[in-house]
Amino acid sequence: MKNSKLYKGSLNTIILKLLDEKGKMYGYEITQKVKELTRGGVKITEGALYPALHKLEAEGLLEVEVAMVDNRLRKYYKLTTQGEKETINRLAELEDFIRSMQQLVKPKWEIN
Amino acid sequence: MKNSKLYKGSLNTIILKLLDEKGKMYGYEITQKVKELTRGGVKITEGALYPALHKLEAEGLLEVEVAMVDNRLRKYYKLTTQGEKETINRLAELEDFIRSMQQLVKPKWEIN
DNA sequence: TTCTTATGCATAAGGAAATTATGTATATTT
DNA sequence: AAATATACATAATTTCCTTATGCATAAGAA
């Protein structure tokens, strides 16, 4: 991820969330989708993404399907059954985290 | 920070934000305030907090004032002029980050 | 009265997760 | 022809956190 310094720790959950919605995606597609959704605010680096995908696969949360498109390699990832369950938990955790962060940055004069 | 795995990278900004509001705070007070604001969701560990405070001080963003209260040491930190400026920037960055995260976790069926 | 918890600071060792820097290769745009 | 986009991958490094430990006083519980 570029130009951010923040972010850390939630990449895995974001990957799971996107796969849960799209069904299957390949690495490069994920980087583009994140860039699009955040209007360029979040840029996932390959150095972060690919190891993360491999780790999630090793944990049994993702499964991979290789394809050739336009003479270029693509590795489509999708959630396993276990991955679907984990996505629910991790997403809830991330949402809690976001709520906490909002509480912390909220100006004090704001009405609760 | 305990029970979280997320969070990383925003501790400094949170410290700056709290000091900007409170004027001055000491370390232990910051941990309690964060716990309170997030209803226990975010627990800052001393191992993260004190080095962060020292680093912000070394960077010239904080200045310290030592006090003895009830025969116990307290180190009150407050923003320097430079610290106040930096707080504005870092807070804006953190708010952008939070907005980005919200975009990413937002369910697709939600109306934009 | 002793043990635990709370208050208050600090640092060292270790690990997780990112960034940065490379590397390979094809396709497309300038 | 060169640069950019597409598509994967990994090694070295850095950043930032957790865990563990240490010291010290005060207050509350057993």
How many whole angstroms separate alpha carbon B83 and alpha carbon B62?
6
Mean pLDDT of B36-45: 93
pLDDT digits (tens, 9 = 90+) for B11-35: 999 999 999 999 999 999 999 999 9
Residue B112 has pLDDT above 50, yes or no: no
Q: In chain B, what percentage of residues exceed pLDDT 70?
A: 90
Both tokens of A33, joined, read: 């989708």
CB of B41 within 7 Å of some strand C atom: no
Contact at CB, B98 and A103, closer than 8 angstroms: no
* Nearest nucleotide relative to A26: CA against C1': D7
Contact at CB, B37 and A96, closer than 8 angstroms: no
Residue B57 has pLDDT above 80, yes or no: yes
Q: For B17, which of A8, A91, A104 is closest by C-beta distance?
A: A104
pLDDT digits (tens, 9 = 90+) for A71-101: 999 999 999 999 999 999 999 999 999 999 9
pLDDT at A112: 46
Interface of B with A (CB under 8 A): 4-10, 13-14, 17-18, 21, 34, 37-38, 41-42, 91, 93-105, 108
- At B22 the three-state DSSP class reads helix
Mean pLDDT of A59-70: 96
pTM: 0.91
